[in-house]
């Protein structure tokens, strides 16, 4: 069931999305924030204005992409391969955006295929671009259609010890919390659907693991200030199971950092990470 390389360049209709304080709080809890991060998990703490985790861009953005034009594939065999966010300004606790998306690329990986879905989101209150997102989707069993394989990664793990390292434990019910922010894919909640995809039980959303990783980057590299968080790109290399512990390692070079996330067994689950900050 191949994808259609002729779909590259197709644009979708602009799509609007609004959110409020409660949505931002729910997202923060969904990616593990708690009592030590009250600026993100409460809205009425004394001398602590509410702020938004930068990785919430993955929930709010990404709209307007003509996903229905990408070709045919089995949704049970689709995985989130990678995610990029670029923030032009800090996300407010409430607001509305208009997103315009397109199909940026489709690559033939042999037995599988991948597609890059890009979107730009404008803050309707200011008329200015708020953030850009790029999702890389990986489709098992949808390759061998004669397309180009795509570029090879150039990311290399630094040889020195990490400059920062932070560990977070995920909850067994983490995907049930995270899905309330909008991603209702049953791969993360329905045991029978997960088994159709080859998993013993539901797996954690890749973007939830991405959010955990983003929290570590924010607190270690930006002094917990979302206004300093500018760019984050990473690949999902192995599924995370609810209950896993995630350790984020960071290597800093000026205002750019490379990062990698591993589970408690030392398996890399988020790889080829690059983050930029002010």
Closest CA to 235 of 200, 270, 276: 270
In the annotation, is 205 catalytic? no
**71 conformational bin, left if phi > 0, alpha if psi -120 to 50, beta if neither:** left
In the annotation, is 266 catalytic? no
- Of 82, 203, 211, 214, catalytic: 203
- Of 108, 183, 233, 244, catalytic: 183
Q: What are phi and psi of 250, to 5 degrees?
A: -130, 135
**DSSP labels, 92-123:** PSSEEEEEEEEEEEEEE-SSEEEEEEEEEEEE
Dihedral sign of CA atoms 91, 93, 97, 99 in order: positive
In the annotation, is 203 catalytic? yes
In the annotation, is 223 catalytic? no
- Of 30, 97, 103, 188, catalytic: 188
Which residues have CB under 8 Å from 165's CB, separation 6+?
A: 247, 248, 249, 250
- Of 12, 63, 206, 211, catalytic: 206
* Residues that are catalytic: 183, 188, 203, 206
């Amino acid at each position: 069931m191949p994808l259609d390389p002729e779909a590259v360049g197709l644009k979708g209709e602009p799509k609007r999305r609004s959110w409020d304080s409660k949505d931002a709080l729910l997202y923060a809890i969904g990616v593990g924030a708690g009592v030590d991060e009250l600026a993100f998990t409460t809205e009425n703490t004394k001398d602590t204005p509410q702020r938004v985790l930068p990785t919430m861009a993955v929930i709010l953005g990404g709209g307007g992409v003509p996903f229905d034009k990408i070709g045919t594939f089995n949704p049970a065999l689709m995985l989130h391969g990678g995610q990029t966010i670029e923030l032009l300004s800090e996300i407010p606790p409430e607001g509305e955006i208009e997103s315009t998306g397109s199909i940026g690329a489709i690559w033939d990986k042999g037995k599988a295929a991948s597609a890059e879905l890009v979107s730009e989101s404008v803050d309707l209150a200011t008329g200015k671009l708020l953030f850009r997102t790029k999702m890389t989707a990986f489709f098992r069993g949808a390759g061998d259609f004669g397309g180009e394989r795509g570029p090879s990664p150039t990311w290399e793990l630094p040889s020195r010890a990490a400059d920062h390292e932070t560990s977070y434990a995920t909850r067994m019910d983490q995907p049930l919390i995270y899905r309330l922010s909008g991603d209702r894919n049953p791969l993360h909640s329905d045991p029978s659907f997960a088994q159709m995809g080859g998993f013993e039980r539901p797996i954690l959303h890749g973007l939830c693991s991405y959010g955990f990783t983003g929290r570590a980057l924010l607190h270690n590299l930006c002094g917990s200030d979302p206004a300093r968080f500018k760019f984050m790109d990473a690949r999902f290399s192995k599924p995370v199971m609810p209950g896993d512990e995630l350790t984020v390692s960071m290597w800093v070079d000026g205002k750019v950092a490379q990062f990698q996330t591993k589970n408690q067994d030392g398996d890399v689950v988020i790889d080829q990470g690059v983050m930029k900050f002010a």
